[in-house]
Amino acid sequence: CTNFVFSSSCSTYGKPEKVPIREDHPQKPISPYGTSKLMVEQILGDYSEAYDFNYISLRYFNAAGADPENEIGEAHNPETHLVPLAIFTALGFRKEISVFGTDYETPDGSAVRDYTHVVDISSAHVSSLEHLRSGKGSNSINLGTGQGYSVLEIIKAVERASGKKLPVVYGERRLGDPATLVAYPDKAIELLNWKPKYSSLEAIISTAWEWHTKNIQNIV
């Protein structure tokens, strides 16, 4: 294998010093997850220096949404991601949805994240392989839209999709959660000729809602 695409993470940056986040932002992870992703990036860099080996590290921001054809969706056990948790609440499988922190320096006080649809992430992987096979060399690239949505905006979008009002419980901030994580996406756009097609808030929530309502009995 001489060409390799790695699913890295924006968590390698840690708490952002400046938003939107560029690829040259200092990488100072504050979690074991972020540290492990950074370690692999460093190993790939060392291996590329020593051997005939090229790689692209795609630093995901928040992967979300589901297959528009309803074949593949997001399910974890236990579930920790905001979009499916909000959908579970709308479907009556959770009593409430929790919001951790309402005093961030954001427009509505809740944390803001950059959500990227899984179909757009998939297309970025294909483009990355094409980039490597054309001999253009190794790189590390942010995979985000450059548009942030708050926790409360996500909840409201699920309310619109479901037609139901979600019971919300407000709590304290979680340790280590930055106020805003948003990508500067120009490198992906320029080098990979990548353009998100499904990453509007409406597309992310609607595809997730459709998949979960179809498969809910199998995942709760």
How far apart CA 176 and CA 212 sit, in angstroms, is 30
For residues 43 and 216, what is the distance between their CA atoms, to the nearest angstrom? Answer: 40
Q: Closest Cα partner for 194 from 140, 133, 145?
A: 145
What is the Cα–Cα distance from 61 to 10, expressed in whole angstroms?
5
User: Catalytic site residue 33?
Assistant: yes
- Using DSSP's 3-state secondary structure scheme, residue 158 falls into helix
The one catalytic residue in 33, 47, 115, 198 is 33
CA separation, residue 69 to residues 63, 72, 112, 160, 206 (Å): 18, 8, 28, 21, 12
Closest CA to 99 of 178, 169, 149: 169
- Pairwise CA distance, residues 179 & 191, whole Å: 29
At 204, which helix (H) or strand (E)? helix 201-219
Report the C-alpha gap between 191 and 214 in whole angstroms. Answer: 37
Residues marked as catalytic: 33
